[in-house]
């Protein structure tokens, strides 16, 4: 099933997509796609739900995110393009939840930004609490999967010293969605096609098959370090083709259009503007 949240930012309502891709209102069944609701998403025929007219804004498909956890250098071909060795253990950093926005919202270049980059990533949404879980148990704690663009200001990330979080947490640097897709519809987690275009030019074209650490390995590893709670979001790394890895390097500028897609999980269509 494909779940969404739609409406004005901060006031989104839960919804579902039917077999024809039409939006149906789910607010009469659940209050939101958030918290403990994610442990048991409603298994109902969306055709019985009210049809939503028009084309409302889509928000992030999970609300009240507690932790936004990211895994760095998790694709062997992306590590190679950056000139870095594959890590022995998952590289973990946090992204501020205030960076989260909808899949078709505007990426705002922060003041002083000259090196804002793109990263299409497979997102994992936790549905059930996970602490000290094994790899074999890990996927039982997943509510669903989604597209994430881990937007990154490279100068903030690298030149300002300290943790990567500095370059990852600017407002609008965490587009999530359009859909939260349940595990039964995801197919092979190790064979997801991932692409990202800027102004119609293909920048990233990869597959989850080159992930160094798989989704079960990531969940297992994180759960040894911290408890994972319903609504926590994990961005699992990006394939090659980021602007920082190009020669010469390329970065986002005002007026750019970014399209990020993972087959079966939907497409983001984002415009780029300068923050005021």
Q: Where are the domains of the chain?
A: 59-274
Tell me how crowded residue 53 is: count the other CB atoms within 10 A of its CB. Answer: 8
Q: Report pLDDT digits (tens) over 235-261.
A: 999 999 999 999 999 999 999 999 999
Number of alpha carbons in the 13 Å side-chain half-sphere of residue 12? 23
Stated pTM of the model: 0.96
> What 3-state DSSP class applies to 177?
coil
Bridge partners, residue 262, by sequence:
194, 266
Q: Which CATH class is domain 59-274?
A: alpha beta
Calculate the CA 214 to chain-centre distance.
16
**Polymer length of the chain:** 276
Q: In degrees to the nearest 10, what's the CA dihedral of 184, 187, 192, 197? A: -60
Specify the residue for token string 């049809």: 51
Q: Report pLDDT digits (tens) over 182-225.
A: 999 998 999 999 999 999 999 999 999 999 999 999 999 999 99
Q: Which residues contact 110 (CB under 8 A, 6 or more apart)?
A: 116, 153, 156, 170, 171, 275
């Amino acid at each position: 099933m494909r779940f969404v949240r739609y409406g004005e930012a901060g006031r989104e309502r839960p919804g579902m997509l039917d077999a024809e891709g039409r939006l149906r209102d789910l607010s009469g069944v659940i209050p939101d796609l958030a918290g403990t609701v994610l442990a048991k998403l409603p298994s109902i025929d969306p055709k019985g739900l009210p049809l939503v007219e028009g084309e409302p804004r889509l928000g992030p498909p999970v609300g009240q995110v507690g932790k936004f956890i990211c895994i760095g250098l998790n694709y062997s071909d992306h590590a190679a393009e950056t000139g870095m060795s594959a890590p022995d253990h998952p590289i973990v950093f946090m992204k501020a939840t205030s960076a989260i926005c909808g899949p078709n919202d505007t990426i705002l270049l922060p003041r002083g930004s000259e090196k804002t980059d793109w990263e299409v990533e497979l997102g994992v949404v936790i549905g059930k609490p996970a602490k000290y879980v094994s790899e074999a148990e890990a996927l039982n704690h997943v509510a669903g999967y989604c597209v994430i663009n881990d937007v990154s200001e490279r100068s903030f990330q690298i030149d300002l010293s300290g943790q990567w979080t500095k370059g990852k947490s600017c407002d609008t640097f965490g587009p999530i969605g359009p859909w939260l897709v349940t595990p039964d519809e995801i197919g092979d987690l190790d064979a997801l096609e991932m692409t990202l275009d800027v102004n119609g030019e293909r920048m990233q074209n990869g597959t989850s098959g080159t992930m160094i650490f798989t989704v079960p390995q990531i969940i297992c590893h994180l759960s040894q370090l911290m408890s994972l709670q319903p609504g926590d979001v994990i961005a699992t790394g990006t394939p090659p083709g980021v602007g920082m890895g190009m020669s010469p390097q390329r970065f986002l500028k005002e007026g750019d259009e970014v399209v990020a897609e993972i087959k079966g999980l939907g497409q983001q269509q984002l415009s780029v503007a300068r923050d005021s």
